[in-house]
Structure 1
């Protein structure tokens, strides 16, 4: 169930929801399929790819990654999210 306050959504789990969450946590996750389109472009384009285009793509990726990383770093201290030390472990590995 979600309620709206200002621009934030607050989600409340029912008893059934908690049971489903715990079941999902107990499941052994499948090994992830990772697809990096940028890497595929770099590998297959080779010398035919203009260096300016490659640098543009890489700089854009770095900018997005830096913004996401900064957001992850403030989560434990933002006062609205519950991110424990254990929760930060997979985030830091990503």
Structure 2
């Protein structure tokens, strides 16, 4: 069914009545893989596994792949420092 002028007007008036969208947050930095995290924290694989399993180091799992958001890891470190 072809659009008519009245349909276009109705759509336009609907768009004017809706609240403006909030701006999107900036995109996250690229996720780090395990090797990059090892270099970032200067720790070994065993210690990284312990931090994930016992102390809540934030991780994103994609199947068998682990990825770490640099900002989340940094925030986790800051929170951990404040708790000690």
What TM-score, normalized to structure 2? 0.25
Comparing both chains, which one has the higher relative contact order based on Cα–Cα distances under 8 Å and sequence gaps of 6 or more?
2
More helix per residue: 1 or 2? 1
Greater Rg over alpha carbons, structure: 2
